Structures are given as C-alpha cells and as structure tokens.
Chain A
Amino acid sequence: MNLIPAKSDIYLDLQQHLFQEARILSAERYDEWLSTILSDDIYYRMDMPQRRFKEDKSGQRAPAKTPIFNDDLASLKVRIGRYNTGFVWAENPMNASRHIISNVEVFETDKKDQFKVYSIVELHRSRLNADRKRFTVGREDTWVKSEQGYRLLERLMTLDDSVVLDSNMNFFL
C-alpha cells in the first residue's frame, strides 16, 4: 500500500485526539470514552505475540491467535458496565495510570473521511504497595471524520509481551 501522509492540520487534529483519549483512559472516564471517542461501529482488538522460528513454514497449521480483546461496541459496554457496578475491588482505591502516546503517524486512505493512524502507547500503572507495571503496544487505528468530529472506528494492537506480567488488565489501551 502506498501510504500518503495526511496534511499537517489533520495530523495535529488526530494527534490531539489521541492525547485527549489517553487522558480520558488514564482517568478511567470510560463512559466519556464511549460517548466522545468511539464510533458506534468500533472494532477493538489486541493480540498476544507468539515466539516462532522465522523459517518455520507450519504457520498455516498453527492455531488462530486467541485475542486478549476482540470487542465491538456492545461487548465494550459490557466491560465498562463491570467497572460501573462498583464491585471491581481491584480498582478501589484507584490505581495510578499514565497512558503515554508516541510515534504518531497519520496517513490518508482510499476513503476521503478515513485516516490510518499508527502510534505506540506505553502504559505505566502504579498499584498496590510498590507494584509498578508497564505495558507497551503498537496500535494501528482507523479514525473516521463524522459530523461529531473524529471517531475511532478500528484499533488493532499487539502486546509486546508473550507473557502478561500483571495480575489484571483492568484498562484499555
């Protein structure tokens, strides 16, 4: 695919959206995430990597990846509904989170109102007594410009760790 970088005003606009989204997610304002960031047609997916030999040709017989997240709007609402019950004891007291966004690239697509956005997010979580956990993922987003402004239509992520190193993933990236 021949990627054409988006014009700088679009780039700045979308980068601003990524930063705004990061602040919303760090603050666990998930209802706001649903209502101001996500498209109703959102597809949200995260995979885990597999360690495989480069020369191994048996990949086509390998099992399909089990996704960590494989969500649409309805299932994201179920996940967020769980937090909203107030019964998720692991999140009370609130854990400190910082979503750090970098390496943002914005490209045009075949569709006039859609943009491909690459970024890296690094999540720092400070939890419990002295637990500091760090997650990094590469993200490949599709953002769509609608009457309400830019909305996230699709987010495809792969976690960098082949073993998750925290006792929960009570967050979104």
Chain B
Amino acid sequence: MENLDDLIDFKTGRQKRLIYSDADIYEQEMEKIFGRSWLFLAHECQLEKPGDFIRTFMGEDEVLVVRQKDNSLKAFLNTCTHRGNRLCKADHGNSKTFVCNYHGWSFSFNGDLTGVPLEEAAYQNKLDKSKFGMVEVAQIASYKGLIFATFDESAPSLEDYLGEMKWYLDVWLDAMPEGTELIGTAMKVELPVNWKLAVENVSGDGYHLGWAHAGAMTVTAESDVAGLSVGNSEVDNASAVSVAGLNGHTVLAALDGKSGYAFYNEHQMAWDYLDKNRATAVERLGEFRGEKMWGSQLNFTVFPNLQFLPGLNWFRIYHPKGPGKFEMWTWAMVDKEMSDELKQVILNNVSRTFGPAGMFDNDDGDNLQAATEQSQGWRTRQMDIYTNMAIGGEHSREEMPGVVSDGLVCEQNQRYVYRRWLEMMKADSWEDIPFYNSLKEAQATEGK
C-alpha cells in the first residue's frame, strides 16, 4: 500500500490518480469506508407492510431490507448460511419467507432459520438452527424516512454521523408536515467509472455544468441557476454557496428559493406549489432555509455514496463494483403533499434529465469513464490532479453551519470529500476519525 498521505493533499487540493484505479486502495476503501460508514438502504415509504423487502447493496455486499411484524426494520446479508447461495433474486416485493434455491433452507422474514429439508434423516436433528439464522447488519436506523445501516458496531449513531448535515437535509426531509417519498422504480445504470469521480462531481462541481451539459442546458433551461450559462461564459458566484466541513457531507445551494426547477420545460406547476406552501416551509424551517433554500437548486452529498438534488428531484446511490466500476440507482423524490399531477411532472423530468436516457446524465458518463481510464496507465496513475479552485475562500456564516465558500463554481466541497476519504482510510478505529461541523472545528483538526 502507498503511503496514504501521499495520495491526497487537502491544502493544495491534490489527488494522486491511482486512487481511481488501484485495486489495493479499492480493497481498503471497502474495509475502511464502506465497511464502517452509515450507508443508505431505502426510503421508509418503500417498505410499507410487514414482509415488504428491498434487495440492495452495502459496498459490494448484497443485503435484504425487510419490514418486520412489529413495524421495525431489519437488514440481512442476502446469503444462505449453509453454502452461501444468494437467498433472494427479486428486486423488491413482499414475502414472509426466503427460501434458498440450492438445498431448500428456508428463513422467516425475521431472519430465523425455520426449515431445513431432511433435518432428521440427514442431520439427525443435530443442527442447531438458532446458530444459522440470516446474518444481520450491525446497526440500522432511520432519519426522517431515510433508512441507513452500517456493518460497524462501533460506528457513532446515525444522528451523530449525519451531524450538522441534518440541518441541510431537513430542507427537503422536513419542510412539509407529511414528509417525503421516493416515487417510481429505481433506474439502474452500470458505469465503468471509479465511484469517487461520480461523487466528487455532484458534491461540488458546478464548473462542468455550463460546458459538459451545454447541449442539455440549451434545450431545457427555462430560468436561471446562479447565473450559470451555456459555454461557461458567465456565473454569479455571489448568489450561491458551497458548504463542506460537515464530516465529509457536502451541500451546493443556490439561494433564490426556486432555481431547483430551472431545468423543467413545465416548471410553472412546481413554482405554484412552492408559492402555495412557502409559508409552511418558513414556519417549519425558519426564514433563511424556508425562503432561500427550499425550492432552490441544492446538491446534497451524504458521505460516502448517497446524493440527492431537491428541485431537480433525483435521488441516487452508488454501489461500487471494483475500482473501475459502479452501479448507480436513481429515483424521483417528492413531497407527499404534492398533487399526483405534479409528481408525474417530476417523475418525467427526472427520467428526461437524469435517467438512463437523461439528457444531462448522458453527458457525464463518457467524461467520468475517460477520467477513470486515464488513471490506469503506468504513467498516468503516477500523476496528480487538482481540485484547487477557490482555495482560501473558506469562511463561516452565522446563518448556516459548516465551512462555506462562494458559489456553485468552486472546488471546496471536493477537497473536503477527499479529506474525509483520507481520514477514514487512515483511521484504525472510529475514535481516530475527527468530527467537526464548522470552520473552527475543521481548522482545529488541521494536521491531525
């Protein structure tokens, strides 16, 4: 293994390219990051009744998330405890038992091993079934509808893991009394890309929008997002913020209260919804978040692999599949209060902009694939690349937590994502991983 400090330099925004291609580094990510972080599993709305299940991934491990009889949630490794076959092949559904196709072992939806064929004739009734139940994750918890789990018993609580990021997440999760839901089925795409390149792109890269997405912007932009323009000729960085220093979580936020719906050909219905409910949002979130953030273009990143954009309304998780591959799953996200008509407009727009044939998403794949491939050569993997835009612009603001820089076109957030990556990669235990939620705390941990 390389000296980890040689891979990332926070102060200069440097990354060594082999972090996008090296198999050993990837293996360490599985252990130190995906093996220990709280990872998103599902939205509560997707598991309504006892027996409802979703099949998903934590890192490369397949898990089943199952609603229990007492309405609690459990998550199990989707593997038979006998000879290791996959237990459930369906994406989602409702089942009270999971039966292995190999030898017929059956498990109750609470995880107990309940049936073993030929238990008497072949096992002479000597099998202690209580020792062979489905294997659960170490911790599972929800935050306002979003279900997360971790494989690490020593991980801090989900509340603490999210920290001050909750203040931002609430702009979507808690603006309306009835809460939120994901609608439609997951749109799944496999990309030959290192997972970090996708995460850094959405966490902080407003720079690529006017260039990489120039074609999509030309035909969809009906109104302004922080002055971003086709061809990257102009931007209004005073009207928006990049926020980091939130334990690896990041936020991009326009502060106009409506630009989330800029890339809609049918945005009026959404704007009417915002007008109608603005007072409620202000009441629940306060003046600043209710007026300036709710309805704005927002990019939320929950470290390491969950990202969602209220306004554009897509919600996405990345499942790594090796150093040069991941699968991304995208849903449309809405407020429950929205009319069915508006939900349909949003579902269509998510599909048209960020689905598998989405006009924006289809601009990113080749760029990220090429950046991955260009980190695989003997020479290129030794090279450095930089997210060094606007270094030194970090400041704090009274009205919001975290470390703030001006504008959506700013690479502050990527630097903090990579810093968190390095902190977790280096740490032997959670006690060695620093926690900070403000500029002061972030600076205090410098050099640790």
Contacts and interface: CB of A to CB of B under 8 A. Distances in A.
Interface of A: 46, 48, 50-53, 56-58, 61-71, 74-75, 78-79, 81-83, 85-90, 128-129, 162-170
The B interface, classified by DSSP as helix, strand, loop or mixed, is mixed
Given A51-B91, A85-B219, A87-B215, 16 more contacts: A53-B93, A56-B90, A56-B93, A56-B94, A61-B94, A65-B185, A69-B351, A70-B352, A78-B352, A79-B219, A82-B215, A85-B214, A87-B230, A128-B369, A129-B373, A167-B191
Contacts of A88: 215, 362-363
Q: How extensive is the interface on chain B, given as a class?
A: 35 or more
B110 to A, nearest CB: 18
A63 B183 contact: yes
Interface stretch (B115-123, B353-361, B439-447): B353-361
B314 to A, nearest CB: 10
A48 B185 contact: yes
B183 A53 contact: no
Interface in B226-277: 230, 265
A162 B190 CA distance: 10
Contacts of A65: 184-185
A74 B186 CA distance: 26
B166 interface: no
A90 B359 contact: no
B447 to A, nearest CB: 40
A164 B355 CA distance: 10
Contact of A82 (B182, B189, B219, B370): B219
Nearest to A81: B219
Given A65-B185, A66-B332, A87 B218 contact: yes
B381 interface: no
B218 A82 contact: yes
B347 interface: yes
B365 interface: yes
B365 A50 contact: no
Given A48-B356, A81-B219, A58 B93 contact: yes
Nearest to A78: B219
Contacts of B68: none
Interface string B177-211: 00000111111111111000000000000000000
B212 interface: yes
Given A68-B351, A89-B363, A52 B91 contact: yes
Contact of A64 (B183, B188, B190): B183
> When A and B form their complex, which 10 residue pairs have the shortest distance between CB atoms, in order from nearest?
A167-B365, A66-B184, A168-B362, A58-B94, A87-B215, A87-B214, A169-B357, A56-B93, A164-B356, A163-B188
B380 to A, nearest CB: 14
B372 to A, nearest CB: 11
Contact of B265 (A64, A78, A89): A78
Contacts of B94: 56-58, 61
A56 B52 CA distance: 10
A163 B362 contact: no
Contacts of A75: 265, 352
B365 to A, nearest CB: 3
Interface of B: 46, 48-49, 52, 89-95, 182-193, 212, 214-216, 218-220, 230, 265, 327, 331-332, 347-348, 350-352, 355-357, 359, 361-370, 373
Contacts of B215: 82-83, 85-88
A129 B92 CA distance: 37
A82 B216 contact: yes
A88 B362 CA distance: 9
A56 B216 contact: no
A68 B185 CA distance: 11
10 contacts: A50-B92, A56-B90, A62-B185, A65-B184, A67-B348, A70-B352, A78-B265, A85-B215, A90-B366, A168-B363
Nearest to B183: A63
A52 B93 contact: yes
Given A58-B52, A169-B356, A163 B351 contact: no
A66 B331 contact: yes
Contacts of A61: 48-49, 94
Contacts of A62: 92-93, 185
Contacts of A129: 373
Contacts of A83: 215
Contacts of A50: 91-92, 185
Nearest to B332: A66
Nearest to B265: A78
Contacts of B191: 167
B365 A168 contact: yes
B361 to A, nearest CB: 7
A10 to B, nearest CB: 31
A173 to B, nearest CB: 10
A129 B366 CA distance: 11
Contact of B190 (A68, A89, A128, A163): A163
Nearest to B188: A163
